[in-house]
Amino acid sequence: MAAPTPPRAYDGSRATARVLALSELWVFIAAYSGIVGAWRLTAVCKAAREGVKEWLRTLPGLVVCGGYTGDGVYTREVWRLDLRELKWNRLPDLTCGRTHHACFAVRKGVVALGGYVVEHTGRKTTAGVESLGHGAVEEENVFKALPPLSRGPIRECVAVANFESESDQGQVLIIGGRKRNGGRSSPVHTVDLATGACTPQPALLSHHGHLAGCSAARLADGRVICVGMHANINSNTLQGTAQVLEPAEHGSPSKTSWKWRLLPGTMVGRYGSKACVLSDGRFAIFGGTVDGASTSSCEVLTLDGEDERWEELPPMHEARSYTACAAIGGCVIVVSGDVDLKTAEVYEEALGRWRRLPCDLPHAGGLRCMGSAVM
């Protein structure tokens, strides 16, 4: 007579099968795997697919708004990349075509600020601000105008949302940019979106010149890092630079005492790059313009006590400048970045590898100088 199957082994295999059949378990596995790894898991089983989709549903999407096309047209179109379905969904249009503007998410909405707009008299730099997702419920499905910036028209500035809850519609820090006459600007302001009031903050460090093509992001501890090209008026030269806005040494933690401090310059002098903070807390920049041409190179900044250094990241598949960029779910997503470039790529932080995404920007052509936000 054959010996019966040991109950422990049989029960163990059944228990394992039951555990693997739980979609809740795959939610945690997907979160650990990142966006690209999670999509790979969908081929494992039905429970895995359900768990992955449930996790992807919790992630924000990448919003791309405005920009200009190869024909020089300023678009009003706004798109959002749905990471659960890997497809672009159309959002309400901007109130007017806009490019070279700042774009950011605040209070579960998205805001476009400054930039170029086209009116019946032609192109002009604007102080206008518009938002989607603020105000009464019936108004949340369209962009609406907010009070203009009290500092006046600005373009090519960088916007970083403030972490606060006291204001009516949120606040944002705007850095650098160009004024109406084209002159570069080093001032920094806090903007109250409910009123448009711009409160001066410590200006960027730009001795004997100004910063061009800035990009910036806020670290988890509240500090702000800004990179760009230092344009020396006296020698007519450009040099990559980086600086951090932080509390003064041995000073009060109050924001009124914060100051800019120079950091090591970037490895490659560039302007028009896009910045974000990786899941490990490091500040990184992607693409930009180097010697008059778009680049695929990327860098990451490590701030480890007195050891502050830039290191190379793997280059993107495509050269991109003034691209859309966002860090979501352990990955970095970049989209377009030239008037004839519609592709999207994703960088897997854990593996240090770029992959192409099967979801080109659905616009008729590529875009440049558009705004982007995570929402």
- Tens-place pLDDT, residues 254-283: 566 899 999 999 999 898 999 999 999 999
Angle between helices 46-57 and 23-41 (to 10 degrees): 90
Structure tokens at 91: 């959002």
Say how far apart CA 375 and CA 302 lie, in whole Å.
Answer: 27
Structure tokens at 354: 């770029």
Q: What is the pLDDT of residue 337?
A: 92
pLDDT less than 70: residues of the chain? 1-21, 134-140, 181-185, 207-210, 231-238, 250-256
Residue closest to 118 by CA, chosen among 78, 77, 73 = 73
Say how far apart CA 101 and CA 95 lie, in whole Å.
Answer: 14
What is the arrangement of strands in the sheet containing 353-357, beginning at the earlier edge strand?
324-328, 331-335, 344-348, 353-357
Q: Per CATH, is 59-374 categorized as 2.120.10.80?
A: yes
Task: State pTM to two decimals.
Answer: 0.88
Say how far apart CA 198 and CA 191 lie, in whole Å.
Answer: 5
Q: How many CB atoms lie within 10 A of CB 268?
A: 17
Q: What is the pLDDT of residue 25?
A: 86
Backbone torsion region of residue 291, taken as left when φ is above 0, otherwise alpha when ψ lies between -120 and 50, otherwise beta: left
Q: What is the pLDDT of residue 14?
A: 60
Q: How many CB atoms lie within 10 A of CB 122?
A: 6
Q: Where are the domains of the chain?
A: 7-51, 59-374
Give percent helix, percent strand, percent coil of the chain, each to the nearest 5: 15, 40, 45
